[in-house]
Amino acid sequence: MRLNLAQLKSSGPWQSAGVALPRFDTEAMSAATAKNPAWLHFGAGNIFRGFIARLQQDLLNQGLTETGIIAAETFDFDIMDKIYAPHDNLTLLVSLLPDGGMDKEIVASIPQGLRASSDFPQDMDRLREIFRSQSLQMVSYTITEKGYALRGLDGEFLPLVQTDAENGPERCVHAMSLTAALLWERFQAGGAPIALVSMDNCSHNGEKLRESVTTVAGMWAQRGHVSQAFADWLRDESQVSFPWTMIDKITPRPAQAVEEALAAAGVEDMAPIVTGKGTYIAPFVNAERPQYLVVEDSFPNGRPPLENAGVFLTDRATVNATERMKVTTCLNPLHTALAVFGCLLGYTSIAAEMGDKDLHKLAETIGYQEGLPVVTDPGILSPREFIREVLEERLPNPFIPDTPQRIATDTSQKVGIRFGETIKSYGDRAGELTAIPLAIAGWLRYLLGVDDSGAPMECSSDPMLEQLRAQLAGIKPGQRSTAMVEALAPVLSNAALFGSDLCAAGLGEKIAQMLGTMLTVPGGVRAALKEYL
């Protein structure tokens, strides 16, 4: 069996292999979408294929919508050329169950895949046509938090953004510039209302998207590339809304065990590829079953009935509370702490870490003891139950092939939210915290690039890696510094990094002491976990 539309017509072999098939007419869906596109998505990776596209498939299966989602990629065009096109935009979704079982389903809700770049003029012409269509209700995004950034670490506009500002909408490159350019097309075609929906895992994602798109449009208006009326239209949320969302689902890189299981079931050509941009991706997506999507219900041109696919539709305050609950208390801080300590202790699986009593206690302490007392309760989900599910069902699932090395990527961009918000919530009592300062000390120890056995260790990519290493250059495993607090002060006092000045918060000496314990090699990291927990 091969994953393509022609072979879907022979349902018997797929059913014998335990693969669920779409329960709608794919040809009719494709034709309806071509004529009246309602949903376009930027970011064609695994979270989209394994979660968001599956939501629309659920609605199609229920007969609650007639159209699918058009996928567009702004960064890694090999995904479209080598994964989407050869398989007629189909995805084989494999849900990995805690008992080792696999639920398999073909997701067929994506009728078209496009490359959002002026290097592909036909694709861009189609995107312009879609944006001009009054039927288009929403444009969603999973392009990672970096995809919204217009400025570098120095606060200045990125060179690419500066070039886009000068060139205008006809020759822009950055994802936010492309979005603004396509909205300019919509405005000129009558300005039908639309919702732009970030579904990326970052705080206030709708606000980030709005700020970036309106900033680009403002620069163009100043230079005469677009009208001021267009820039004003973009800022009118009765016309162009930017709903906030909270998304949660683990979709790790494709696992060899899943590839082998599919091959044994008779499914061919499932091997992963590594794209020219370094994306590790396969025709299948393996993912955990638990998933959450909470969306601010602000859609000025209507929307699909997402509540019938399990999505929480609510107000902005509730979305913010839910996102804050997850990102600052109930999941992300636990994940980040496990990531850095997992790397230091030689783990290659998050699930395996959960069998380590010290690491399990670290995660429990951050969640239950230090997070819950200051958690924001969103009302629609129980924070305590959410942590319980994370610690007892999700992270320990041995069949989710997620790695601490993947989670450790870009940690400098995360610590201010994942730890800093709880620290700020404690205020003058921040000195009472133990596990969160220990996690920060663990991250600083991780940045030194030496594991707990004393062996060299490769750190995951991070835009501040070299800068932070330079600031920590005087601190080395095996050498206890007598002036640790002074050596760490430039890092720990960086409020832009941690969300507040940790030295002023009364945590500088505690973190320095913890890091000092970890510098003993071998075994200092393990000793610190035992000593402080």
With 0-12 CB in 10 A as exposed, 13-18 as middle and 19+ as buried, what is 64? Answer: middle
Instruction: Answer whether 284's CB lies under 8 Å from 254's CB.
Output: yes
Q: How far is 234 from 209, CA to CA, in rounded Å?
A: 12
Q: What is the DSSP string of 206-272?
A: HHHHHHHHHHHHHHHHHHTSS-HHHHHHHT-TTTEE---EEEE----SPPHHHHHHHHHTT------
In one-letter notation, the amino acid at residue 472 is L
Contact 337, 435 (CB under 8 A): yes
Spatial CB neighbours of 388, under 8 Å, sequence gap ≥ 6: none
What DSSP assignment string belongs to 14-61?
HHHTTEE--SS-HHHHHHHHHHS--EEEE--SHHIIIIIHHHHHHHHH
DSSP secondary structure string for all residues of 387-400: HHHIIIIITT-TTS
Q: What is the pLDDT of residue 529?
A: 98
Whether the Cβ atoms of residue 179 and residue 190 lie closer than 8 Å to each other: no
> Average pLDDT of each block of 10 consecutive residues along the chain (533 residues)?
95 95 98 98 97 98 98 97 98 93 97 97 98 98 93 88 96 97 98 98 92 98 98 98 96 93 96 94 96 98 98 97 94 97 97 97 98 95 97 93 93 93 96 97 97 97 93 85 81 94 95 95 97 96
Q: Are 93 and 287 in contact (CB under 8 A)?
A: yes
Q: Residue 332 and residue 350: Cα distance in Å, rounded?
A: 13
Pairing of strands 194-198, 240-241: parallel
DSSP string computed for 485-528: HHHHHHHHT-HHHHSS-TTTTT-HHHHHHHHHHHTSTTTHHHHH
Structure token digits, residue 124: 């861009």
Is the separation of the CB atoms in 72 and 114 below 8 Å? Answer: yes
Place of tokens 């596990």: 435
| Residue 426 DSSP SS3 | helix
Give bridge partners of residue 107 from the DSSP assignment.
91
- For the record, the structure tokens of 138 come out as 């929403």
Cα(83)–Cα(89) distance, rounded to whole angstroms? 8
Residue 382 backbone dihedrals phi, psi, to 5 degrees: -85, 120
Identify the pLDDT of residue 481: 63
CB neighbours of 483 closer than 8 A, spacing ≥ 6? Answer: none
Backbone φ and ψ for 410, nearest 5 degrees, come out as 60, 35
Backbone angles phi, psi at 421, to 5 degrees: -70, -40
User: What global pTM score does this model have?
Assistant: 0.89
SS3 125: helix
The H helix count followed by the E strand count for the chain is: 26, 15
Compute the distance between CA of residue 437 and CA of residue 166 in angstroms, rounded to an integer: 45
311 DSSP 8-state letter = P
Let me know if 432 is exposed, middle or buried by CB neighbors in 10 A (0-12, 13-18, 19+).
exposed
pLDDT at position 482 is: 63
Coil, helix or strand at residue 443 = helix
What is the Cα–Cα distance from 309 to 100, expressed in whole angstroms? 25
| CB of 433 closer than 8 Å to CB of 507 | yes
What secondary structure, in 3-state letters, does 326-388 show?
A: HHHHHCHHHHHHHHHHHHHCCCCCHHHHCCCHHHHHHHHHHHHHHHHHHCCCCCCCCHHHHHH
